[in-house]
């Protein structure tokens, strides 16, 4: 198939673009490089630089594309609270431009990188696709709005869409030929920040709250290896049905606590990684874990790599990237 990958110069988009090439597909990446890196686009994919508003239709029109995989988005929760207008304009506005470009160009399949942040603070865990969606920040709200738009374009224009909702992605693609991991200008994810301590770039890692109602008192979160996540996108691509919008959660089923993550990082790196206790952050739920039973039963997906593999691959990438 000929596929357009928006945001393919980013962490997850770059890994999925590489996996698509390995599967024998033709890949074109559309990215404005505002947060991505041109060298994250895998060899064999063609990079078009531009926003979705500027370039999506020009790329898709007459290009005989079979489908789109949509990763382009702003994704910092704190920034979304500070600049909600930016997030509504960038995430929802650009996505609507992409959907309209698809409609006009006759491309009728899309896999969307959504988020489990659409659920907000859950009433119970693990979170199911049928649970209420009550996002607590503009980032999650914009992603939910895109899910709604996908459902409408499916109903009104026959587009087949799959939204994949997940929390934390970790690890790296290390296949001998390519090395692709997290390179964020502003790093908010736990594992890379813990590894910065092991690399000597920070003195300690901050632990926000040690009195949660969890087995060790720290927050429990969902983590998925980026390679497993990419495999889910490839399965979702085959599952797109014209006129139907489907939603699947991706989760490990149990979650890992902050202390567990830090301890595994210590084991993998051989560094003591001092942890510094801090008060809870406002709005941090004790447990956020998504159920992936629906995608397991319908598409046959299940995560194959454990927390240690995520940390080991992220550590290898971090050392190579220095």
Q: Quick: pLDDT tens for 5-38.
A: 999 999 999 999 999 999 999 999 999 999 999 9
Dmax over Cα atoms in the chain, in whole Å?
Answer: 58
**Confidence at residue 140, expressed as pLDDT on a 0 to 100 scale:** 94
Please check whether residue 288 is in contact with residue 122, taking contact to mean a CB–CB distance below 8 angstroms. Answer: yes
Q: What angle do CA 92, 97, 98 make, to 5 degrees?
A: 95
Helices (H), the chain: 11-22, 52-60, 77-82, 84-87, 94-105, 138-157, 190-198, 226-239, 258-269, 293-299, 307-321
Q: Do 146 and 71 form a contact (C-beta atoms < 8 A)?
A: no
Six-digit token pair at 254?
């149990």
pLDDT of residue 253: 84
Distance from C-alpha of 196 to C-alpha of 138, rounded to nearest angstrom:
28
Token pair listed for 258 = 């902050």
Confidence bin at 273 (pLDDT 50/70/90): very high
Condensed to tens digits (0 to 9), the pLDDT of residues 180-209 reads 899 877 778 899 999 999 999 999 999 999
Residue 240 has pLDDT above 80, yes or no: yes
**Over the stretch 244-269, which tens digit does the pLDDT of each residue have?**
999 999 998 889 999 999 999 999 99
Put residue 155 in one of left, alpha, beta given phi > 0 → left and psi -120 to 50 → alpha. alpha
Instruction: Please check whether residue 134 is in contact with residue 121, taking contact to mean a CB–CB distance below 8 angstroms.
Output: yes
Handedness of CA 207, 208, 209, 212 (dihedral sign): negative
Residue range 27-56: mean pLDDT, rounded: 96
Query: What amino acid positions are annotated as catalytic residues?
Result: 139
Mean pLDDT of 294-310: 97
> What pLDDT score was predicted for residue 78?
86
Looking at per-residue confidence, does 143 or 75 come out higher?
A: 143
Higher pLDDT, 283 or 227: 227
Residue of higher predicted confidence among 322 and 315:
315
Nearest one of 53, 59, 46 to 17, comparing CA atoms: 46
Cα 112 to Cα 5: distance, rounded to the nearest angstrom: 10
DSSP conformation class of 128: -
Tell me the backbone φ, ψ of residue 256, rounded to 5 degrees.
-130, 140
Percent of the chain whose pLDDT exceeds 90: 89
Q: HSE, CB side, 13 Å, CA atoms: give it for residue 218.
A: 19
Cβ atoms within 10 Å of 322's Cβ, excluding its own: 7
pLDDT computed for residue 180 by the predictor: 86
Range 294-318 average pLDDT = 97
């Amino acid at each position: 198939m000929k596929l357009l990958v928006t945001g393919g110069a980013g962490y997850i988009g770059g890994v999925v673009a590489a996996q698509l090439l390995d599967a024998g597909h033709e890949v074109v990446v559309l990215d404005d490089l505002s947060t991505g890196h041109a060298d994250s686009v895998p060899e064999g994919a063609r990079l078009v630089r531009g926003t979705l508003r500027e370039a999506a239709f020009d790329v898709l029109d007459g290009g005989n594309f079979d489908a789109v995989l949509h990763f382009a988005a702003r994704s910092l929760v704190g920034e979304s609270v500070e600049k909600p207008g930016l997030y509504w304009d960038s995430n929802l506005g650009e996505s609507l431009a992409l959907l309209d470009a698809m409609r006009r160009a006759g491309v009728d399949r899309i896999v969307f990188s959504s988020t489990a942040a659409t659920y907000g603070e859950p009433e119970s865990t693990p979170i199911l696709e049928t649970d209420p969606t009550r996002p607590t920040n503009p980032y999650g709200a914009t992603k939910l709005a895109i899910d709604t738009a996908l459902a409408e374009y499916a109903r009104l224009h026959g587009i087949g869409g799959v939204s994949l909702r997940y929390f934390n992605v970790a690890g790296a693609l290390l296949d001998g030929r390519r090395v692709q991991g997290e390179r964020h200008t502003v790093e908010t994810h736990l594992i890379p920040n813990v590894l910065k301590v092991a690399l000597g770039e920070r003195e300690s890692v901050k632990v926000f709250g040690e009195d949660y109602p969890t087995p060790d008192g720290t927050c429990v979160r969902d983590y998925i290896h980026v390679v497993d996540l990419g495999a889910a996108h490839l399965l979702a691509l085959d599952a797109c049905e014209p006129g139907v919008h489907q939603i699947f959660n991706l989760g490990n089923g149990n979650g890992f606590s902050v202390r567990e993550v830090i301890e595994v990082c210590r084991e993998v790196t051989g560094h003591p990684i001092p942890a510094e206790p801090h008060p809870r952050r406002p709005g941090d739920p004790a447990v956020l874990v998504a159920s992936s039973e629906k995608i397991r039963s319908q598409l046959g997906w299940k995560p194959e790599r454990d927390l240690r593999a995520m940390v080991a691959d992220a550590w290898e990438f971090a050392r190579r990237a220095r």
